[in-house]
Structure 1
Amino acid sequence: MGKIVVSENVSLDGVIEVAAEDDGSRFGGWFDWMADEDRKAWAEAGFEEAMNAEALLMGRLSYEWFVARGWQSRTGAWADRLRSLPKHVMSSTLRNPGWDNSTVLKGDLVDEVSALKRDVDGDIVVYASGRLVQALLEHDLVDELRLTVYPFVLGAGRRLFGETSAKKPMRLVEARTVGAGLPFLVYRSVRVP
């Protein structure tokens, strides 16, 4: 049975939207504000996560972000691993995915993700994909949240958590520091009968 693992970079106030530095927004490029030591440690943690994944699940915008930045043709162990992983994209509009081992899931979110969880044995990692993550949380499909927290309050931007129809209990199962100062927090969903 597969496990949906959401892996997000978030500001202290929960912002996940990372606009480019030159896009005109107040806080564009905040992901790039980390120190070199933190960036190296973050990359090592990301590579380790990819090595332990059995599949990726993404929304269309995040999938297109990866493709636009050339992940399908990059070199190196991390890019090779992402290329080799099965990639599942929730989208009603994506027609021709441009990355090896990619499948577009066009049906009902709950049905598609539930089937994916039955078919994959291991971690199904969700990178970025804010709207998808909120829908997965709403439908109690997230098994684990992995949050790398960046030490700034942005005050604006799309946040990881939106309104939900009910509380979503989580249990902290790991807390450590990545690099010199990035908290890495792992929460597991607590299923309420």
Structure 2
Amino acid sequence: MRKVNLYLHMSLDGVVTDLDRWMDYSEEMLLDAYDYYKTVDTIIMGGQTYASMAGYWQAAERTSESALERDVARRIHAMEKLVLTRSNPDLVWANSQRLIVKEPEAFVQEITALQQKGGLSISVESGVRTWQSFLQHDLYDELWLTVHPAIAGSGDRLFEGEGRVARLQLKSSKTYENGAIVVHYRKI
């Protein structure tokens, strides 16, 4: 059965939106992301985030000054991308398809069926409601969380509202030169 990873960046006060206001990304982080993406062949993201991610990574593949960022972009470009949505967004990125689910039961069934398929891990990349759905329905195996040394002050927080209690086991952690810390947990 394929693993489902929740992969995200967060401020110290738990905000996971408006990353451009507070996130400081580094080449060191990009190298770790490149290694992470070697273990993944499917990305799931919410419909609202799809357009910005598609625009960013397609441009990075062609125009980034960083060879490493171009390599990460090529890897992501080649992966299957599933857009979890209730609407019908334009799909402008290669290997993209809609995963339209209107009811919680259908969501659980779709993700469970996806896990049963052969392949590498599945990475859930955005947005806050998408991550919260995976948490609420206990549809994840690992949490990859990069905590940045910034207080965002406002924005959507991942761990708000009703949720399940989850026990996690630390698999690894790393502190970057810019002060961000990545923690990798496995659900137990």
TM-score, with length taken from structure 1: 0.83
Contact 1:54 1:120 in 2 (8 A): no
Q: Name the counterpart of 2:13.
A: 13
The one of 13, 21, 30 equivalent to 2:22 is 30
Q: Name the counterpart of 2:44.
A: 57
Q: C-alpha displacement at 1:15, in angstroms?
A: 0.7
Q: Deviations over 1:97-146 (max 9, x none)?
A: 11111111113211111111111432111113111000100000011111
Contact 2:10 2:146 in 1 (8 A): yes
User: Unpaired segments of 5 or more residues in structure 2?
Assistant: 63-69
Q: Provide the C-alpha distance between the structure 2 equivalents of 1:16 and 1:136, rounded to a whole number of angstroms.
A: 15
Name the structure where helix makes up a greater proportion of residues. 2
Runs ≥4 residues deviating over 3 A? none
Matched, 1:93 2:87: yes
Q: Provide the C-alpha distance between the structure 1 equivalents of 2:187 and 2:99, rounded to a whole number of angstroms.
A: 24
Contact 2:169 2:186 in 1 (8 A): yes
Contact 2:16 2:128 in 1 (8 A): yes
Partner of 1:104: helix, strand, or coil?
Answer: strand
Q: Name the counterpart of 1:128.
A: 126
- % identical aligned pairs: 27
Contact 2:47 2:89 in 1 (8 A): no
Aligned length: 177
Q: C-alpha displacement at 1:19, in angstroms?
A: 5.5
Root mean square deviation of aligned Cα: 1.9
Matched, 1:82 2:76: yes
Q: Provide the C-alpha distance between the structure 1 equivalents of 2:87 and 2:37, rounded to a whole number of angstroms.
A: 27
User: Unpaired segments of 5 or more residues in structure 1?
Assistant: 21-28
Q: Cα–Cα, structure 1 residues 95 and 149, in superposed 2: closer, same or farther, change >3 Å?
A: closer
Q: Deviations over 1:122-175 (max 9, x none)?
A: 211111311100010000001111111111223321111122343122222211
Q: Provide the C-alpha distance between the structure 2 equivalents of 1:134 and 1:16, rounded to a whole number of angstroms.
A: 11
Q: Provide the C-alpha distance between the structure 2 equivalents of 1:133 and 1:73, rounded to a whole number of angstroms.
A: 25
Q: Cα–Cα, structure 1 residues 178 and 73, in superposed 2: closer, same or farther, change >3 Å?
A: closer
Q: Provide the C-alpha distance between the structure 2 equivalents of 1:128 and 1:104, rounded to a whole number of angstroms.
A: 15
- AA paired with 2:136? E
Partner of 1:176: helix, strand, or coil?
Answer: strand
Q: Provide the C-alpha distance between the structure 1 equivalents of 2:144 and 2:57, rounded to a whole number of angstroms.
A: 25
Q: Name the counterpart of 1:151.
A: 149
1:106-185 → structure 2 map (5 Å cutoff):
106-107=100-101, 108-185=106-183
Bigger shift: residues 45-54 or 160-169? 160-169
Q: Provide the C-alpha distance between the structure 1 equivalents of 2:38 and 2:92, rounded to a whole number of angstroms.
A: 22
Q: Cα–Cα, structure 1 residues 95 and 157, in superposed 2: closer, same or farther, change >3 Å?
A: closer
- AA paired with 2:133? A
Contact 1:40 1:179 in 2 (8 A): no
